[in-house]
Amino acid sequence: MTNSSTKLKVRDFNFYYGEFQALRGIDVEIPAHQITSIIGPSGCGKSTFLRAFNRMNDLIPTAHAEGQILMDGHDLYGIDVVDLRKRVGMVFQRPNPFPKTIYDNVAYGPRSHGLRDGAGLAEIVERSLRQAALWDEVKNDLDKSGLALSGGQQQRLCIARALAVEPEIILMDEPASALDPVATLKIEELIQTLKELYTIVIVTHNMQQAARASDYTTFFNMAENRAGYLVEHGPTKEIFTNPKEKLTEDYITGRFG
Amino acid sequence: MSGKELSTPIPEALMEGATARKGAGSGSLTRRKLSQAIAFGVFWLAGLLAVAALFWIVGYVLVEGFQVINVEFLTTRPQGGVSGEGGLSTTIVATLYLVVFTMVLATPIGVGAAIYLTEYAADASRRSKFLARLIMVARAGVEILAGVPSIIYGLFGFALFVVAMNTFTGGFSILSASLAGACMVLPVIIRTSEEALLAVPRSYREGSLALGATKWQTITQLVLPAALPGIVTGLILSVGRIVAETAIFWVTIGGSYRLPTSLKSAGRPMALHVYMLATETRAFDKAMGTAAILILTIVILNLGINLTSRYYSKQVMGRTQ
């Protein structure tokens, strides 16, 4: 599925935690129905940048943003934040299933948005769990606690939970960093199947993962004053085989970071 | 690059340190094992003593108490006078009234205050300096009130509810006592609920908000159910205090041993009855009997609350196996 339209357009984006500037002058376009990975050394603001897309940063009291992020041409700050987060889902670094049954975990989002119809919910739960490649493992245990699953299963449950509200974009903040290699591979395969339906932005520490699993790669670095900035953005193949910037080459060959 | 680092030999200084530690360890191993055994013994003894004391007291009260407990004792009301004739039926009723109304008054306010303090206070403090001050005072107030002796609440309740609000509360009454009792347990409920809410991981809240749930939905659908076991612990502690208190109710509920028929009726809870029997009558055996029923009441109330909340939690949280 090739679709070259732009889903998210970031224009001269600056981000501050109080006085501290965490991101500086970011300009980038995230293509729809593609997997875009964000790589870069620790502390360069990758997660901050990702959290700008669903305005999770709003929860931090001293934080403020400058510049613009457009989703399908509309400013993110012009959209009601609850509606925005319905359209832009997120999967966190550490699996965070709720202390509820597997069923209730997946049904949580749709219920929050007012869906009460039991049969409709059951359908959404099954479809979401199937999409997250978890259905076959849990179909007989839907009343089991989400916390009773293994780490990899928990993360797929969190993905299913995000899918259940039918977002347009899914943000993933190092979704496999707390998982073992087998579970990691499962998550990566899963992400590949999801891009037909969703635009995916994934922050990763793991460069092989970015090379394996993404279509586009954005490389962030940290300036002397520790503000993160964008070094290079392009198709993953080009970034990893023929980077334009020396810094990118140094990073992907492991010379720093 | 990391492979290169691994292949470098471990510095000798480090190796020396390791061998030195190993030597010291094996030399004093028996002594260390001995001190561990002694420590275990001491702790065992401490635990055993605590449990033994508990069983002795409760056992003594129950054994002594059950000598006077029979159907008649349970179903007749106290007769009054220095002989302490009669049973305790009306005091059981008064105690239950008191527990129910006090908790009905205190639980929503206490849990509500805790929700405000954990979920909203930080935002509010940043928005306005005045609110920030107010919240600070409220927090300090809760801390101080938690340590205030119950008789102070009693005097306060007497002055405000019994005397000043006489026409509304009926003077010495279940209502006055419940209001005073609610003031007493409020800090307990607020503090335990606050701790329970704070113990709910941030990641739950983030996960819920990221799904497009509102803050209110997040609190009611996720945070409160997750904090419920901790909140219930606070409620059980409060029920225990209400059942056990005498001083605060002595000055707010009156002490009449007639059957309370309305919120405005005076009454005599069990703990107060025990005190009255023991100090003002010759019927010490009946004081013991009442005390035994008092203990059983506390056990039954606690079990009831605990089982209900556990059943609910299991429904919400799902099987773990």
What values do phi and psi take at B143, rounded to 5?
Answer: -60, -45
Chain A partners within 8 Å of B124 (Cβ): none
Distance CA A109, CA B207 (A): 10
Interface test with A, best of B211, B214, B221, B310 (most A CBs within 10 A): B211
Phi and psi angles of residue A196, each rounded to the nearest 5 degrees, phi first: -60, -35
Interface confidence (ipTM) of the complex: 0.92
Polymer length of chain B: 321
- Give B224 to chain A, closest Cα distance, Å: 11
pLDDT above 70 for B9: no
> Who's near B186: CB < 8 A, 6+ residues apart?
B106, B109, B110, B113, B145
The runs of H, that is alpha helices, within A113-206 are 118-131, 135-138, 151-163, 181-194
Quick: pLDDT tens for A130-145: 999 899 999 999 999 9
Distance from CA of A27 to the nearest CA of B (A): 24
Report, as an integer, the average pLDDT of A123-129: 95
Bridge partners of A6, per DSSP, are A31
Query: What average pLDDT does range B273-287 have in this prediction?
Result: 89
Q: Find the CB nearest B212 among A101, A113, A146.
A: A113
In angstroms, the CA B221 to CA B208 distance is 9
pLDDT at site A129: 95
Superfamily for domain range B74-320: MetI-like (1.10.3720.10)
Confidence of residue B5 (pLDDT cuts 50, 70, 90): very low
Does the distance separating the beta carbons of B213 and A82 come in below 8 Å?
A: yes
- Give the pLDDT of residue A88: 95
Q: What is the spatial distance between Cα B138 and Cα B117, in angstroms, rounded to a whole number? A: 9
> Which residue in B has a C-alpha nearest to residue A255's C-alpha?
B1
Instruction: State the Cα–Cα distance between residues A136 and A154, nearest whole angstrom.
Output: 14
C-alpha to C-alpha distance for B33 and B39, rounded to whole angstroms: 10
Could you tell me which residues come within 8 angstroms of residue B221 by beta carbon, excluding any fewer than 6 positions away?
A: A108, A111, A112, B208, B213
Give the Cα separation of A31 and A201 in Å (integer): 10
Residues of B with CB under 8 A from a CB of A: 1, 122-123, 126, 201, 203-204, 206-214, 217, 221-222, 225-226, 316-321
Read off the pTM. 0.84
Residue A101 per-residue DSSP state:
B
B310 has a pLDDT exceeding 60: yes
Instruction: Quote the distance between the C-alpha of residue A99 and its chain's center.
Output: 23
Give per-residue pLDDT as tens, B191-236.
999 999 999 999 999 999 999 999 999 999 999 999 998 999 899 9
B274: left (phi over 0), alpha (psi -120 to 50) or beta: alpha
Q: B219: which DSSP letter?
A: I
Res A247 pLDDT > 50 = yes
Q: Which two tokens stand for residue A5?
A: 């339209």
- For B11, which DSSP code? P
Angle at which helices B270-280 and B284-317 pack, to 10 degrees?
160
Q: Within a 13 Å sphere around the CA of A80, how many CA atoms are in the beta-carbon half?
A: 6
Q: Are B303 and B69 in contact (CB under 8 A)?
A: no
Is residue A145 within 8 A of residue A100, CB to CB? The reply is yes
| CA separation for the pair A154, A104 (Å, rounded) | 14
Dihedral (Cα; B281, B282, B285, B288), 10-degree rounding: 30
pLDDT value of residue B4? 43
Q: E strands along chain B, which residues?
A: 78-80, 85-86
Residue type, B35: S
DSSP helix/strand/coil, A165: coil
Task: Give the tens place of pLDDT for each residue, A62-110.
Answer: 899 999 999 998 999 899 999 999 999 999 999 999 999 999 999 999 9
Q: Do B222 and A98 touch (CB under 8 A)?
A: yes
